[in-house]
Amino acid sequence: MKSLVCLFFSIFTIWNPVFPQKKITVHVTPIDATIYEMGVATKELKQLGVGTAVVAVQKNTETMIVVQKSGFADLKKVYSTIKGEKLPKEDILVMKDRMVNLKVLPDDAKIIVNGSELEKGISKVIVKDGAKVNVEVKKSGYVSVNKTYVNQPDAELIPVNEEVKLKDRIIQVVSSPSDAKILVDNQISGTGHSDIVVPFDHCVVVKAIKEGYIEFEQTYCNKDGVVDLPLNVSFALQDRLVIVRTTPEDVSIKINGRYVAKGEYNVKIAKGDCVEVTAEKEGSVGVRKKYCNQDNAPLLPIIDHIDLVADETFAVSIPSEFVNINNIVDIGNKDIDAWKVMSQIVMSYFDVIEVTDKATGYLRTAWSVKSFPNNTIRTRIIVKVADSSSLKYVVKLCSEYSGKSGSNVNDDSLYSEWHRVLETYKNVVNDIQTRLK
């Protein structure tokens, strides 16, 4: 019986041979690359060797190896005995595809590789053998950074690790009016709109300018510790500018009654405001102009030339220190009828007395008006009691001009005080002071 059993086992062995595992010696380039075997279920890597390793492949199975080296893409190879494929005794593997461990900052910046977006922050960029990869790192408000990696024999060596930090900032600037020019550090950057670059650790001065407007200026700094810069800004030019130039050049220019310059001045008119400009020169007719920066106001000029013409009134008038001021008349002679004498003197110069009241000691003539080709002069005298106890009067000779011919004598808004007086009235104050002493 024992002999029969041994015979059966021998026959079974002949028909069911034991197939040993297949062993392959794998050589890799670079020679310092590490060879791993990947577990089928766990995907865990088991190190087999560095540069060279023996890979055992069981019957009816597949064995995957992974070759790794910093700066290269993983090289994977599967050896299979499932389909009865003949496996080599030795295999030579060459790592050719390169890999860059790319880290970007800010970590939410987009990474675009050949048009496809990768995971933000840290990405592995694969560069196939003989290929070229374009990488763009971008984020709103920053200047994008572009990198090109070339995996070719004569190309620059691809880095193993690279950090790309977006540092230069970009601001979208829009101006109003839309044809205003945008300047960066006094260099034209665009018209109406422009993307302004603020390099890291620098400041730039951005202006919006247009003729006839007051420029708008803003400084932006891209430095550590500085508050985050805006993504976009709007520069609205609203305050206006009129360049006033006069002929002759020595004409005095006043803004709202205040002297500012001779010959030329940049008149600034804030949005919603009006400014009155007066151009004056002795012997010429003064000119007054009003510039308004308001809705529905007349269009403002960029440059306004004011030409002064000779004043015909200059030849028939004299400068006077006693016009438009209060002149005190002390009645030294108490025996005379001061009011009567005062009235007689005034009427010898003026035809119409508008108001007279002896009881209150008040007298005012009507305006005496004289029109010239380029000017209108109005003159009147006002008398009132200064001190009833000592009988003193205040006499004021009013002399005013309009700067235009035929001006309405009763429209006060057309007239300004004149430091001269027509020769007709040059002695009236002196006569009163002399005869009432």
What pLDDT is recorded for position 404? 87
In this prediction, residues 203-219 reach a mean pLDDT of 96
**DSSP code of 2?**
H
Residue 220, beta-bridge partner list: 204
For the ranges 12-21, 333-342, 377-386, the lowest mean pLDDT is seen at 12-21
Q: Which long-range contacts (CB under 8 A, 24 or more apart) does 290-293 make?
A: 291/240, 291/242, 291/267, 293/238, 293/239, 293/240, 293/269
**What domain range is 200 assigned to?**
170-235
Residues 208, 261 within the same domain? no
pLDDT at 256 over 70: yes
Residues 31, 67 within the same domain? yes
In sequence order, what are the residues at sequence separation of 6 or more whose Cβ sits closer than 8 angstroms to the Cβ of residue 196? 170, 171, 172, 173, 182, 184, 189, 204, 206, 220
Residues 104, 192 within the same domain? no
Count each helix (H run) and each strand (E run) in the chain, helices first. 3, 37
d(CA 194, CA 197): 9
Residues 69, 105 within the same domain? no
What pLDDT is recorded for position 224? 84
Residues 277, 330 within the same domain? no
pLDDT at 336 over 90: no
DSSP labels, 11-40: HHHHHS---PPEEEEEEEESTT-EEEEE-T
Residues 326, 398 within the same domain? yes
CA-CA distances (angstroms) from residue 268 to 98, 235, 299, 382?
A: 65, 18, 15, 39
Residues 408, 356 within the same domain? yes
pLDDT at 266 over 70: yes
- H/E stretch holding 51: none
d(CA 276, CA 278): 7
pLDDT at 177 over 90: yes
pLDDT at 356 over 60: yes
Pairing of strands 90-94, 22-29: parallel
Contact 124, 134 (CB under 8 A): no
d(CA 398, CA 395): 10
Name the percent of the chain lying above pLDDT 90: 72
Of 58, 75, 94, which residue sits at a domain end? 94
pLDDT digits (tens, 9 = 90+) for 391-401: 788 999 999 99
CA-CA distances (angstroms) from residue 390 to 88, 121, 333, 372, 432?
A: 139, 97, 11, 43, 17
pLDDT digits (tens, 9 = 90+) for 198-209: 999 999 999 999
- Which pLDDT band holds residue 18 (cuts at 50, 70, 90)? very low
Residue the block writes with tokens 């593997």: 93
Q: Output the CA torsion 252→254→258→262 (10° steps).
A: -40
**Crossing angle of helices 338-349 and 428-435, rounded to 10°:** 160
What pLDDT is recorded for position 334? 62
Residues 384, 325 within the same domain? yes
Name the percent of the chain lying above pLDDT 70: 94
- Which pLDDT band holds residue 365 (cuts at 50, 70, 90)? very high
What pLDDT is recorded for position 60? 86
Residues 185, 161 within the same domain? no
What pLDDT is recorded for position 227? 66
d(CA 190, CA 335): 86
Contact 265, 241 (CB under 8 A): no
pLDDT at 173 over 60: yes
Of 68, 94, 120, which residue sits at a domain end? 94
pLDDT at 302 over 90: yes
d(CA 277, CA 259): 10
pLDDT at 14 over 70: no
**DSSP code of 230?**
P
Residues 9, 23 within the same domain? yes
Of 181, 203, 235, which residue sits at a domain end? 235
Q: How many independent structural domains does the chain possess?
A: 5
For the ranges 273-287, 303-317, 321-335, 369-383, the lowest mean pLDDT is seen at 321-335
d(CA 348, CA 368): 13
Residues 302, 219 within the same domain? no
Residue the block writes with tokens 């007395």: 353
Residues 21, 46 within the same domain? yes
Q: For residue 178, give the CATH number of its domain.
A: 2.60.40
In this prediction, residues 283-311 reach a mean pLDDT of 92
Query: What rounded mean pLDDT belongs to the chain?
Result: 90
What pLDDT is recorded for position 228? 81
What pLDDT is recorded for position 20? 64
